[in-house]
Structure 1
Amino acid sequence: MEGLKRACKGFFCTPLGVIITGVDLKKDISDDLIDQFKRDVHKHRLLIFKNQGTVSGQRHVEISQWFGQFESTFYKHPKSPHPDVFRVSNIREEGCTNVGRTGWHIDGSFMKKPFAYSIYHMVSIPKVGNTDFVPLKELIEGLSEETRARWERLWMLPDRRDKILHPLIYSHPVTKQPTLCFHLGMTEAFIWDYGTDQQRITEHKETMKLLQEIHDEIVKDNRRLIYSHKWEEGDFIISDNLAVGHEATPETQYPREEVGVRILHRTTIQGAHEPQKAESM
């Protein structure tokens, strides 16, 4: 963190992540500073760069490549500025709509190796429409002993792609801290005690109850863990996708007449690890 503080004019901690000013991502960035970003994104989980103006699709891609190979899985909207940039909006003609509104999640939970990083740039700022983030380590460590023991027994079955099965709680492949592989809107079922004689798949009603339980744990105690990011012009966020859950707030889909036009560009970086229980890491 000290290296990043020295390199940037402004460096301010938020409840989750850090706000960075004095760095223009549109210009050439030294290898040393890029290496610092790659280390600190795991330490802080969100690197929030302010006052970036409009970052082109090509430059967004170049910045993303600091962190690995692309994993592009989503529909290419006609107005996307680059084949690897996912463009979302509250207006169908401007981008894909209702993205991030199906529940708390990490990106790519339905993949064998979920995305390692998600990289966001707000191109058109609405009057309202935040993105909420929750730190997964603190969420897990704040569970009651009984609840954590139950969650440790759960494996999630995504509703896409055959033969994909992930432990709900596992160890982050870089930090080794506890984290979650989850999507509250894209889970078909859970399996209790996978690989044991007690293995059992949940019925729909039980699945919904478990998804609601996870949601309730995230938002309980007046949402004390949640960092709600109010987007401003020029914001650019690099996220350790495996360490933070997120959800777009309802206002992100309000009509143009109420909030204006919202356009967000996002890239996702290929994961290098399958979620695994700590004892098998």
Structure 2
Amino acid sequence: MTTARNMAKQAYSLTQRILGAEVVGVKLNESVPEEIIDQIKKDIHEHRLLLFRDQGVISGKRHVEISRWFGELESTFYHHPKSPHLDVFRVSNDEKEGCRNVGRTGWHIDGSFMDKPFRFSLYYIESAPRKGGTAFIPLKDLIENLSEEKRQRWEKLWMVSDRQSRLIHPLIYPHPSTKKPTLCFHLGMTEGFVWNYKSKDERWTSWTETQEILTEIFDEIQSNSKLIYVHEWQTGDFILSDNLAVGHEATPETQSPVSEVGLRVLHRTTIRGINYPSK
């Protein structure tokens, strides 16, 4: 399905994809009319992922300017010496070019360990490898495919981040903007879970039970493989993600050496959350 809108001097169109939509007619490294920016801000919640192909060179400064359309930037990660901006997280399969081993700790949303998990993640690929993509899954669809019994169980669970703050967030909660059900989770950075948090039936899981729950979530994702979209990057791609609505994970090939797959350099910014995830 393709929807076209003519705005200002640019033609804005969306082409539906397996997950999300591809935006045609917009060059992010040029001035973008306010009418189109407003439409992008509406469409991101409807489609969850917006892909902009063939964007050429987007500087760190421009990446940050685009990010500010969606709110205040918030970065919590190591600043690599080659990062083009303090707010741009630069990752690579070459430690001289960017931070390595990023995104391979398990399916997650960005900032699950923050008091307010990030609202949006914005990705730009400066150098795409021959192989090595990012897998995405729509969380509302995943939840709606749960059995009634399993969903009732997950509704009682709260995740405990493995960071020192030990922040506690509900596993299933309404998206703060769309109010649709979504997940706050990280399969590689979770210390534990709490059943029925702040109720008379509150109970914290043992490490064994925690691992069982994490495995259960992973198995549910794998059993819904038809929902997964793996984006194989092309140099110049820019992706805008509704981070709270889409889980993701870097594929194993993203860590393959440059000699096998070529150089991978990915830039990412994240937007500060506005609401604490709650029931």
The interval holding the TM-score normalised by the smaller chain is: over 0.9
The one-letter code matched in structure 2 to 1:44 is H
Report the counterpart of residue 271 of structure 1 in structure 2. Answer: 273
Name the CA distance, whole Å, in 1 between partners of 2:117 and 2:262. 33
Name the CA distance, whole Å, in 2 between partners of 1:31 and 1:126. 34
- Mapped contact 1:171–1:177 kept (Cα < 8 A): yes
Following TM superposition, the consecutive aligned residue runs of length 4 or more in structure 1 with deviations greater than 2 angstroms are: 1-11
Cα offset, 1:198, TM superposition:
1.5
Name the CA distance, whole Å, in 1 between partners of 2:12 and 2:117. 34
Cα offset, 1:4, TM superposition:
5.8
Report the counterpart of residue 33 of structure 1 in structure 2. Answer: 36
Gaps of 5+ in 2: none
Cα offset, 1:48, TM superposition:
0.2
Which of 64, 67, 71 aligns to 2:67? It is: 64
Report the counterpart of residue 256 of structure 1 in structure 2. Answer: 258
1:1-281 equivalences in 2 (<5 Å): 5-7=5-7, 8=11, 10-221=13-224, 223-277=225-279
The one-letter code matched in structure 1 to 2:242 is D
- Mapped contact 2:161–2:189 kept (Cα < 8 A): yes
Cα offset, 1:22, TM superposition:
2.0
- TM-score normalised over the length of structure 2: 0.96
Name the CA distance, whole Å, in 1 between partners of 2:22 and 2:35. 19
- Mapped contact 2:4–2:12 kept (Cα < 8 A): no
Name the CA distance, whole Å, in 2 between partners of 1:4 and 1:63. 22
CA RMSD of aligned residues (A): 1.4
Name the CA distance, whole Å, in 2 between partners of 1:86 and 1:64. 13
Cα offset, 1:21, TM superposition:
2.2
Gaps of 5+ in 1: none
Name the CA distance, whole Å, in 1 between partners of 2:146 and 2:138. 13
The one-letter code matched in structure 2 to 1:13 is Q
- TM-score normalised over the length of structure 1: 0.95
Percent identity among equivalent residues? 60
Question: CA offsets per residue over residues 46-68 of structure 1, 9 Å max, x none?
Answer: 01001101211100000000000
Number of aligned residue pairs: give it.
276
Cα offset, 1:180, TM superposition:
0.3
Cα offset, 1:200, TM superposition:
0.8
Cα offset, 1:2, TM superposition:
8.4
